[in-house]
Amino acid sequence: MSSVLSSEQTPRPWTADPVLTVEHVQMRFGGLVAVNDLSFEVGRGDITALIGPNGAGKTTVFNCITGFYKPTQGMLLLKHAAGDTFLLERMPDFRISAKAKVARTFQNIRLFSGMTLLENLLVAQHNRLMLASGMTILGVLGMPSYKRAEKESIETAKFWLDKTGLTARADDPAGDLPYGAQRRLEIARAMCTGPELLCLDEPAAGLNPRESAELNTLLLDIRQMGKTSILLIEHDMSVVMEISDHVVVLEYGVKISDGTPSEVRNDPRVIAAYLGVDDEEVEKVEEQLDELTEGATP
């Protein structure tokens, strides 16, 4: 408890205008409770990191947010900058992307490997183009309005290809890209849906240090553009600590810490979760910390 108390002493800017509010979410698979009574906020314009040891339930949380699972209990409230609100737990998965504007990437990359990079990015703009093609009918007749819309979509795709450094390979199949580039393309594809919230499932997994640094730049870039907030699952602490504004820590499906990177880094429960310390020892460390803080602040 003390860790939560200590973090409440510092300002928590992400509570002011959260893009996503997760409230008391529980996800149960048969007898297994993968996520229990989880609540946290994702601040608008922030980069929020969701971390925790393997099997902590991070991807399950993502799947609840993006509609691939329906949480057993709880509420997921998404609020657009324009003020529209969506209850994600009540929406089917494709509508969460189409209407609530939540985009995601996958832990084991899911690209359309037999389609070119450009095609991948155009598929991401499906709904807009579908409207422009008059639900296909105008498109089949070859109306110029669709041609114009397609040109715009190609421009959007080009913009994101540039951002991710993939322009030179635009006409190659996605399956031919090296691993790191595939990760970047997946982010570009998600961005082409024009999301309010971008959920990245271990974007730095398998990247070398240079690629990891490029990823940081890309994510900071996206944040700077201001429209998209980012929620990411990550194991690479250098990514988490360098770029995130807010970190939520899960262990065994329960939130054990929530705060700024430096707060979380020093939270004894997080240290215990990552280093595997007994509960008793955690209490001991907490007591010591309490004594220290009491001693420090008269």
Partner 1 sequence: MATAKTTSGPGGSIAGAARDAILAGVVALGIFGPLVGLKTEQNMQNELVITTRWGLVAIIVGIVIAGRFLLTTTIWPAMTRNKLRDKPPATAGEVAFRARLARWFAPTGLVFLFIYPALMVYFLGFQGSLKWVDNFGIQILIYVMLGWGLNIVVGLAGLLDLGYVAFYAVGAYSYALLATHFGLSFWLLLPMAGILAAMWGIMLGFPVLRLRGDYLAIVTLAFGEIIRLVLINFRELTNGSAGISSIPKITFFGIYSFDVSAPNNFAKVWGLAMSSAYYKIFLYYLILLLALLTAFVTLRLRKLPVGRAWEALREDEIACRSLGINTTNTKLTAFALGAMFGGFAGSFFAARQGFVSPESFTFMESAVIVAIVVLGGMGSMIGVALAAVAMIGGTELLRELDFLKAVFGEGFDPDQFRMLIFGLAMVLVMIWKPRGFVSAREPTVFLTERKSISSSLVKEGHG
Partner 2 sequence: MEIFLQQLINGITLGSIYGLIAIGYTMVFGIIGMVNFAHGDVFMVSAFIAMIFFLLFTTVLGVSSVIMALIAVMIIAMVLTGLLNWAIERVAYRPLRGSFRLAPLISAIGMSIVLSNFIQVAQGPRNKPLPPVLSGTITLMERNNFAATISYKQILIWVVTAVLLAGFWYVVQKTPLGRAQRACEQDRKMAALLGVNVDRTISLTFVMGAALAAVAGTLYLTYYGVVNFSDGFTPGVKAFTAAVLGGIGSLPGAVLGGLLIGLIETFWSGYFSIDYKDVAAFSILAIVLIFMPQGLLGRPEVEKV
Binding site for partner 1 (CB under 8 A): 66, 68, 93-99, 103-104, 106, 110-116, 118-119, 122-127, 129-130, 133, 136, 139-140, 142, 146, 150, 154, 158, 167, 170-173, 175-176, 189-190, 193
Q: Which does 94 bind (CB under 5 to 8 A by kind): partner 1, partner 2, none?
A: partner 1
Judged by CB, which is closer to partner 2: 108, or 224? 108
Report if residue 68 touches partner 2, rule: CB under 8 A. yes
Judged by CB, which is closer to partner 2: 68, or 274? 68
Contact 252, 262 (CB under 8 A): no
Q: Which does 115 bind (CB under 5 to 8 A by kind): partner 1, partner 2, none?
A: partner 1
Judged by CB, which is closer to partner 2: 19, or 65? 65
Judged by CB, which is closer to partner 2: 43, or 203? 203
Report if residue 106 touches partner 2, rule: CB under 8 A. yes
To partner 2, the closest distance from the beta carbon of 109 in angstroms equals 12
Q: Is 117 left (phi over 0), alpha (psi -120 to 50) or beta?
A: alpha
Report if residue 112 touches partner 2, rule: CB under 8 A. no
Q: Which does 226 bind (CB under 5 to 8 A by kind): partner 2, partner 1, none?
A: none
To partner 1, the closest distance from the beta carbon of 135 in angstroms equals 8
Q: Which helix (H) or strand (E) holds 239?
A: helix 237-243
* Stretch 9-48: interaction string toward partner 2, x if CB under 8 A: ----------------------------------------
Q: Which helix (H) or strand (E) holds 256?
A: strand 254-259
Write b or e for each residue in 242-276: b if 16 or more Cβ atoms lie within 10 A of its Cβ, otherwise e.
ebbbbbbbbbebebbbbbbbebbeebbbbbbbeee
Judged by CB, which is closer to partner 2: 44, or 104? 104
Contact 64, 281 (CB under 8 A): no
| 161-164, Cβ contacts within 8 angstroms, sequence gap of 24 or more | 161/117, 161/118, 161/121, 161/188, 163/188, 163/191, 163/218, 163/221, 164/188, 164/218
To partner 1, the closest distance from the beta carbon of 155 in angstroms equals 11
Q: Which does 154 bind (CB under 5 to 8 A by kind): partner 1, partner 2, none?
A: partner 1
Judged by CB, which is closer to partner 2: 201, or 267? 201
In angstroms, rounded to a whole number, what is the distance separating the alpha carbons of residues 201 and 183? 10
Residues forming beta bridges with residue 142, ordered by sequence position: none
Contact 263, 10 (CB under 8 A): yes
Judged by CB, which is closer to partner 1: 133, or 257? 133
Q: Which of 224, 222, 263 is nearest to 232 (CA)?
A: 222
Other CB atoms within 10 A of residue 165 CB? 13
Q: Which helix (H) or strand (E) holds 250?
A: strand 246-251
Report if residue 63 touches partner 2, rule: CB under 8 A. yes
In angstroms, rounded to a whole number, what is the distance separating the alpha carbons of residues 185 and 204? 13
Contact residues for partner 2 (CB under 8 A)? 59, 63, 68, 106
